[in-house]
Amino acid sequence: MVKNEDEQWELGTGLTTTAKAVAAASAAVGTMAVSVSAFAAGTAVDFTTLSGAVDFSTAVTAVMAVAAAVVTVLIAVRGAKFVLAMVRS
């Protein structure tokens, strides 16, 4: 190993350590891309048995009821402020 002008270590092949690291990283990314595309070519996993057993209708109804109550209070406050502003002027 010898240092070149850029203060990087040159290895036996003449490539710097930075170039070797880039080459290794790109090879790893290429390998992952091939394995991901091979996995994507297979059949999709079916989650209907898991998602079909869950029923969120009561939770959604409760959340919407709370939201409606909050909106009602906000409208009442805004209306009261409007009426008070009209009375004052």
pTM of the model: 0.42
Per-residue pLDDT band at 5 (split at 50, 70, 90): low
**Largest distance between two CA atoms of the chain:** 90
Residue spans of alpha helices (H) in 1-89? 17-40, 48-52, 57-88
Is 6 in the same domain as 35? yes
Report how many domains make up the chain.
2
Predicted pLDDT of residue 72:
98
Containing domain of residue 62, as a range?
A: 53-89
Is 39 in the same domain as 59? no
Is 39 in the same domain as 4? yes
Is 29 in the same domain as 10? yes
Predicted pLDDT of residue 83:
96
